[in-house]
A and B are shown apart, each in its own frame.
Chain A
Amino acid sequence: EVQLVESGGGLVQPGGSLRLSCATSGFIFRDYSFNWVRQTPGRGLECISYIGTDGTTIYYADSVKGRFTISRDNVQNSIYLQMHSVTAEDTGLYYCARARPFDQWGQGTLVTVSS
């Protein structure tokens, strides 16, 4: 069974950092690209980052460029999102999603930015 399980969300102060993880199983991880997609009150559903199978083809939405970093570990079968300099606008539910279009999703991890 294909599974994507996000973790690492929580309460973080404005300007702080957080690292999200997405553990996967049930398929050949290295064969797929991945994305981080978030749902925020201000922007709805938004794909904020993509990482290709090679780990070097990477894209970011303008809303997170320079603050967030996506990475993957083909041994741990996981992807990550390192978040820095967060603001209230980053509050939302963060999903990892496989491929393009997004054929498998996790259940999401909630990030709340508040002092």
Chain B
Amino acid sequence: ETVMAQSPATLSVSPGERATLSCRASQSLDGNVAWYQRKPGQGPRLLIYGASMRATGIPARFSGSGSGTEFTLTISTLQSEDSAVYFCHQYNYGLGTFGQGTKVEVK
């Protein structure tokens, strides 16, 4: 099973600042990495797919990067509505696997 080690577990950032979330895979992926945002009481929302492609309707402040085993989600200027849990997801192998999540708190 491909393990997705996501870090940090929690991140507290002031509004307008940058948030950087990381995911390291236990084996190389062909860029088949996605990032999701989940808010309380809601299903997850797809933000990024193909490591760097923004999903429909996702604001430009969300960006994804990386290749091989190292992937990053960056929120360039954090807004209050970005408080949520974020998950990385590899869909390159089998049914796919998820990171454990990063809770982002806007101060």
Contacts and interface: CB of A to CB of B under 8 A. Distances in A.
B87 A45 contact: yes
A47 B49 contact: no
Interface residues of B, number: 21
A83 interface: no
A26 interface: no
A59 interface: yes
A105 B39 CA distance: 13
Contacts of A46: 97-98
A95 interface: yes
Contact of B95 (A4, A44, A47): A47
Contacts of A9: none
Given A101-B34, A101-B89, A102-B36, A47 B96 contact: yes
A108 B98 contact: no
A109 B95 CA distance: 21
B46 interface: yes
Contacts of A102: 34, 36, 44, 46, 89
B50 to A, nearest CB: 8
A67 interface: no
A1 interface: no
Chain A interface mostly: strand
Contact of A108 (B43, B89, B95, B97): B43
Contacts of A61: 95
> Among A48, A59, A108, which residue has the most Cβ atoms of chain B within 10 A?
A108
Contact of A44 (B49, B94, B98): B98
Interface of A: 4, 35, 44-50, 59, 61, 95, 97, 100-108
Top 8 nearest A-B pairs (CB, nearest first) are: A105-B43, A101-B34, A45-B98, A47-B95, A101-B49, A107-B43, A103-B46, A101-B91
